[in-house]
Chain A
Amino acid sequence: KQEVTQIPAALSVPEGENLVLNCSFTDSAIYNLQWFRQDPGKGLTSLLLIQSSQREQTSGRLNASLDKSSGRSTLYIAASQPGDSATYLCAVENYGQNFVFGPGTRLSVLP
């Protein structure tokens, strides 16, 4: 059974810092890995999708990497801003058409 974990569970940084969020999964038989952002009381917004054959994806200040063989992905946020404060979730799509989510990392960026 696929299990997804995220470290750290919570993170607080001053504005302007670069930071890394980690996601690990136990079964490498995945189609893709997706990073989401969730603001309090809101739904999930897709940030980046990395296909299983890709090593990384970039969108603005966000960069996500994938090492399928070791079961790891990282989300790098450059020059963090208070507006980046949210919970970040990763999810893997398994062969067999279902998705498994990690518990999330709660990020606070202090002005």
Chain B
Amino acid sequence: NAGVTQTPKFQVLKTGQSMTLQCAQDMNHEYMSWYRQDPGMGLRLIHYSVGAGITDQGEVPNGYNVSRSTTEDFPLRLLSAAPSQTSVYFCASSYSTGPQNEQFFGPGTRLTVL
């Protein structure tokens, strides 16, 4: 199993550009999520999905879109990049929800918006 994979590892954008961060998992997990990690702020939930076709907003969803057309993939779209979106982005997945639910993380994408 590859686990949770993310591409690209690094990206530099100019203000106003759009892009998609890719996330895929091969563990047949229903639950997938996107976080951003900023110094002094910890990890904050952007969007999550409890299964194909179902998405919901997390703590900091503004400026981001997601879709979940398959169980395996959960891309994150930046519509019009802003310097405030400079961060490290992590994708995570887990089987479902409940007491035995363990999260697995991808290696992250380091994004800089100029």
Contacts and interface: CB of A to CB of B under 8 A. Distances in A.
Contacts of B40: 103
B31 interface: yes
Contacts of A101: 35, 42-44
Given A43-B107, A97-B31, A32 B42 contact: no
A34 B97 contact: no
A49 interface: yes
B103 A34 contact: yes
A46 B45 contact: no
Contact of B101 (A45, A53, A93, A102): A93
Interface residues of B, number: 26
Contact of B98 (A31, A34, A89, A100): A31
A46 B103 contact: yes
A20 interface: no
Interface residues of A, number: 24
Contacts of B50: 97
A100 B58 CA distance: 10
Nearest to B35: A101
A99 B97 CA distance: 10
Interface string B79-114: 000000000001010000111111111111000000
Nearest to B40: A103
B33 interface: yes
Given A89-B42, A101-B43, A101-B44, 8 more contacts: A32-B98, A44-B90, A97-B50, A98-B33, A98-B45, A99-B33, A101-B35, A104-B42
Nearest 8 Cβ contacts at the A-B interface: A51-B99, A44-B105, A101-B43, A103-B42, A43-B107, A43-B105, A97-B97, A49-B102
